Amino acid sequence: MGRAALLLLLLVATAGRAGVSAAGGPEVHSLRGSWRLRNGNGSVVLRGEVPGCVHTALHRRGLIQDPYYRFNDVMYRWISLDNWTYSRTFKTPFDIKKWQKVNLVFEGVDTVAQILINNITLGRTDNMFNRYEQCSFSWDWGPSFPTQGIWKDVRIEAYNHYHLIYFSLTSFFVKSAQQWSLEIESIFDVVSSKPIAGLVTVNIPKLQTQQTFGVKLQPGEGSIVLLVNINKSSAVEAWWPNGHGKQTGYNMTTTFIMEAGYQIEKYSKAYFRTVELVQEPIPGSPGLSFYFKINGRPIFIKGSNWIPADSFQDRVTYDTLWLLLKSAADANMNALRVWGGGVYEQDEFYNICDEIGIMIWQDFMFACALYPTDQNYLESVRAEVSHQVRRLKSHPSIILWSGNNENEAAIASNWFSIPYADREVYIKDYVLLYVKNIREIVLAEDKSRPFIASSPTNGLESVKEGWVSQNPYDTHYGDTHFYDYNNDCWNWTVYPKTRFASEYGFQSWPSFSTIEKVSSTEDWSYTSNFSLHRQHHENGNDQMLQQIGHHFKLPQSTDPIKKFKDTIYLTQVMQAQCIKTETEFYRFSQSEIIKGEGHTMGALYWQLNDIWQAPSWASLEYGGKWKLLHYFAQNFFAPLLPVAYEDKGVLYIYGVSDLHADRKLTLRVIVHAWSSLEPVCTLAKDGVTVKAQSAVLIYMESINNLLERCRNCTRKSCVITFCLVGEGGLQSPTNHHFLSSLKDAVGLEKTHLSASVSQRDDVYVFVLQTTAIAPFVSLDVGHIKGRFSDNGFLMTEKKKVVVFYPWEPTSVEDLEESLTLTSLVDVV
């Protein structure tokens, strides 16, 4: 194992004029801004911004290219291998002698660092949160950029008597009293040698709730826990996930008036929601359920997995996070899993999730590895876990703590070839780290949400088996991760009828416009060195072609750039169709048990976002552009959806609903011939009952009967579309079911696609026209940032209106000039 490069942080403090703080409160002096940065031997010296890291500092000064350009992840390895020193001189802005305690606070140092002030070593760090971020050293979707730097805020703070370090609030619903209550925890650093008494007043005006408490702070780490009962005569609006209600929050003021020192006023948002993870027997099935109840209501979890948005965390702005998270909500997602090999996200991430109703399954940052359990390491982990839980537990969006990613499975399946004789030692270490340390701290710090030790896990069954179950992928318990790149992804029978699918996916390439920014002309081929270098998943590029080959003709163009663009397009079509098939399988399995399996209550595909421009499992490209998969997700996660599958020659259509009430609807089934824009036949089935929050069978017919009824149709010459329609404008997306592979389709004609563009207020309207049925119609406006209302669709009518929502100023002229229209018949 190579040595870790050392980061030195040198500060020179000189006396400044004394300042007096208002009302005797703490003094805070920021050390953000420009620092001097140099490498180990002094051959590279520059100014570096703090917060920031070495790579971004070098790039800003023009000393290196964009680290993501072409092969720069290899070219710039020297940066991570060198030792770097950040230094700056500052004047102390206050008279240090007047303060009982002065802290130099680094919110985030990356990673192995020594901190000196006036040549005296103040401390050392070896834990980014506190600890290495694993995926910095490359993963199968990302580059290797072990970064160094001061990646979060740095400041000096001075105080007397006491200082508020953590402030959190969690809500509970007391069933016996039919009343909401808030637990408010405040943790202080008390520097006084004697206890300090005082009063704390909590005020939530909108809920007509105000309470005052007498409190006493003990020297050291003083903690106050207050229980505030919400006025029963006030109607509390609960926080609900996206698609299930509002995300109401209440302004709250907490005032601390202590007998010594100063007054503190803390402004915060109070949210009210409960969460339960239900694991109980299911009639007709061995094993246990695994689903979430929010505010007492079972919720089908729809979403994806979140990875770090950039290798260089200082580049991740509020706008970056908002764009990605809003895109998740716009695709009808209600949840994301923050994966355990990345980072604990910044406060803004969780604030946005609170605001837009995205539930968070929060992994602790341990993934696919065996970890040490020596005393120093365990102390570091305990500090990390305690800090993160205290920092994050106020967020209603977080519904679950999970100890690690795939480490139970790693031991159970023996990924690391542990000799059988040593297995018990590794299991003991696993339990020591995740159960006796992490779990113990989580349960002590936060009683408001559930904890599982790993993902995938068998949940309570894993606990029963000593925390490492024989088969953590058992479909009768807990959650599963499932990947299969060899079988035909349109074949729903290969998917596990699991209780909860927390990881599954297929790769695709990002758009040409995204790749173009980090490549040159010689790279624009599927088999170029660049394309091979960018693919970090073994055989990934070949697996995509193999999966495409099941149902589509591979591109044969003699123009190499057209062939590359066609291949990119087909990887996105394939990925979208594969994950559509798998997700729809999980959604229609929610209300049934077949051969002891079913009651699937969650579908989180891998993965939402990209860390750089490369082939990956993501549905959002680096920069936020929607792949075809994300447009498909908007439909396959719709609150109301008809889903079709075939079994032994019979077509089954299920009505899948997340709506809170039963609905009487009309099912419209239309059969089209590939050769005509006129439907061959139409069926309208009225009075179809789609049950609330369920998946029920609403239609079945043998394909042979259907084809006989719709004359002149064969499996190869026709396609089925269908939708649900109700009163008051209620309508599902139009779904499709292919009767054969599209490479075998008969009657598909070369179509002429055209679009006219006009502006309407802040959006742009694209009116599309086609001369023939066009499968998988893709609209692409290159580098112009924004998203369409629909994309990748099956166009079965002469005209279709699509809206473009821009994320930056643009014009009709720019959009017309940048627009590329592609359908399956354009691939040659």
| 268 within 8 A of 249, measured Cβ to Cβ | no
In whole angstroms, give the CA distance from residue 449 to residue 4: 37
In whole angstroms, give the CA distance from residue 44 to residue 125: 24
CA 253 from chain centre, in angstroms, equals 31
SS3 178: coil
Nearest Cα to 612, choosing from 71, 221, 154?
71
Beta bridge partners of 213: 200
How does strand 162-174 pair with strand 154-159?
unpaired
Q: CA distances (Å), 467 to each of 265, 436, 445, 456, 460, in order?
A: 44, 11, 21, 12, 9
Tokens in use for 55? 């790579």
Considering only CA atoms, give the Rg of the chain: 29
- Per the annotation, the verdict on 406 as an active-site residue is yes
Q: CA distances (Å), 521 to each of 65, 152, 525, 623, 827, in order?
A: 17, 38, 9, 21, 21
The residue from 408, 503, 582, 621 that is catalytic is 503
**Omega prior to 775 cis, within 30 of 0:** no
CA 153 from chain centre, in angstroms, equals 24
In whole angstroms, give the CA distance from residue 98 to residue 102: 10
What's the burial of 572, exposed, middle or buried (CB within 10 Å: 0-12/13-18/19+)?
buried
Q: What is the dihedral of CA 446, 449, 450, 455, to 10 degrees?
A: -100
For residue 49, the tally of other CB atoms under 10 A from its CB is: 17
Tokens in use for 199? 């009063």
The residue from 185, 345, 406, 584 that is catalytic is 406
Tokens in use for 705? 């009967």
In the chain, the largest separation of any two C-alpha atoms, in whole Å, equals 94
Q: How many CA atoms lie within 13 A of 763 on its CB side?
A: 10
In whole angstroms, give the CA distance from residue 118 to residue 613: 43
Residue spans of beta strands (DSSP E) within 433-512 = 451-452, 480-482, 501-504
> How many residues does the structure list for the chain?
828
Please report the DSSP string for 91-150 in residue order. EESS-GGG-SEEEEEES-EESSEEEEETTEEEEEE--SSSS--GGGEEETTEEE----EE
CA 685 from chain centre, in angstroms, equals 39
Contacts of 466 (CB under 8 A, 6+ apart): 427, 431
First to last CA, the chain: 49
What's the burial of 320, exposed, middle or buried (CB within 10 Å: 0-12/13-18/19+)?
middle
* Helix H or strand E encompassing 349: helix 347-356
In whole angstroms, give the CA distance from residue 674 to residue 720: 10
What's the burial of 684, exposed, middle or buried (CB within 10 Å: 0-12/13-18/19+)?
exposed
Tokens in use for 311? 């290798």
Tokens in use for 134? 């694993």
Beta bridge partners of 704: none
Q: CA distances (Å), 672 to each of 448, 576, 595, 708, 749, in order?
A: 53, 22, 35, 14, 14
User: Which positions are catalytic?
Assistant: 406, 503
